[in-house]
Amino acid sequence: MRLKRFGIYDLVIIAVMAALGIALKPVVTVAVHFVSAPLMIPGGSLAGGLYMMWLVLAFALTGKCGAGTLVGAVQAVMVVLLPIPGSHGAMSLISYTAPGLALDILMFLMLVLPGRDFDRLASFFGGLVANLVGTLIVNLIFFRLPPLFLLVTICAAALSGGIGGLIVWELYKVAKKYRLVR
Q: What residue spans define the domains of the chain? A: 3-177
The tens-digit pLDDT sequence of the chain (182 residues) is: 578 899 999 999 999 999 999 998 888 888 888 887 887 777 778 888 998 999 999 999 999 999 999 999 999 999 999 887 666 788 889 999 999 999 999 999 999 899 899 999 999 999 999 999 999 999 998 888 889 988 989 999 999 999 999 999 999 999 999 998 87
CA-closest candidate to residue 126, choices 67, 86, 76: 67
- What CATH class does 3-177 carry? mainly alpha
Which residues, 6 or more positions from 67, have their beta carbon under 8 angstroms from its beta carbon? 6, 10, 13, 14, 55, 58, 59, 61, 100, 104
Q: Amino acid letter at 108? A: F
How far is Cα 27 from Cα 7, in angstroms, rounded to an integer?
31
pTM: 0.92
The vertex-75 CA angle with 74 and 81, nearest 5°, equals 90
